[in-house]
Homo-oligomer: A and B are copies of this chain.
């Protein structure tokens, strides 16, 4: 008897080596009703085929990952990035998904200008706002842990993401709330409440933190319960905003990637039931 929580979504990166067909099959068989897709496996089969496969699977697409990477100054690369984000907005909409996660990018090569890089995020969003609105897709700025600030995402706190989102329509620009990236933040409770108040929560993602970090800190994400994050206050804070969406589990972890995806799907579901679901009284 399959007992996977109906609001749990498997982010495809958690079963990174599964192609789209496998990912959809594994998630369906494990009782998931929702999946967060990555562009590469979608584009591998082609968008039209992917749309049909997803429709046939019956799964909801909770998020599309990922746009962003537009902190650079120079024009040709910048134009290419904006165009690429437009394409991703269309793909997201085509998949009947309403959230495109944005990893905004770090410092451009050779630059030390964090302030400038951060300003260019808002400039890019201003260019993309109308496309997002027209497509019914929310661009979900993801604050990443400050250890990724210079090489991956110079948005490091939820409060900062909300400040960057503030000038834009909340239907067009929201935020990603990922426990791994923000649990340490002494202002996390007030920032989650503010995100809810301002209508900016586009996705809630759960993942655990433990030390020592992996040698590649990007791969240091763990099943809920295997680390030191207390999911109760974070999950309750999101619940208390009134946001109700699918909750994703996204784990970059070599050991998990090397595991049979069906086993991973079960472990994610079990971890969710134990660590998160008790604080989400649907």
| Cβ of A156 under 8 Å from chain B | yes
The answer to whether residues A146 and B209 also contact, given A230-B113, A230-B114 and a CB cut-off of 8 A, is no
Q: Which residue of B lies closest to A181 (CB)?
A: B146
Is A278 part of the contact surface with B, judged by Cβ < 8 Å?
A: no
Q: How many protomers of this protein does the assembly include? A: 2
Interface size on A, residues (CB 8 A): 35
Q: A157 at interface (Cβ–Cβ under 8 A)?
A: yes
Q: How far is the CB of A122 from chain B (nearest CB, A)?
A: 13
The verdict on A147 contacting chain B, using a C-beta distance below 8 Å, is yes
A211 vs B112: C-alpha distance in the bound complex, in angstroms? 13
Inter-chain contact B107/A228, CB cutoff 8 Å: yes
**A150 contacts B by Cβ under 8 Å:** yes
Docked pose: A233 CA to B156 CA in angstroms: 19
Q: Is the beta-carbon distance between A150 and B211 smaller than 8 angstroms?
A: yes
Residue A217 at the chain B interface, CB threshold 8 Å: yes
CB distance from A43 to the nearest CB of B (A): 28
Q: Which residue of B lies closest to A106 (CB)?
A: B211
CB within 8 A of A146: which of B151, B184, B210? B184
The residues of B that contact A213 with a CB separation of less than 8 Å are 147, 217
Q: Is A118 an interface residue (CB 8 A)?
A: yes
Given contact pairs A118-B186, A146-B147, A213-B217, a sample of 10 additional A-B residue pairs in the complex whose CB atoms are under 8 Å apart: A111-B228, A112-B228, A112-B230, A115-B233, A145-B147, A146-B184, A149-B184, A150-B210, A159-B186, A212-B216
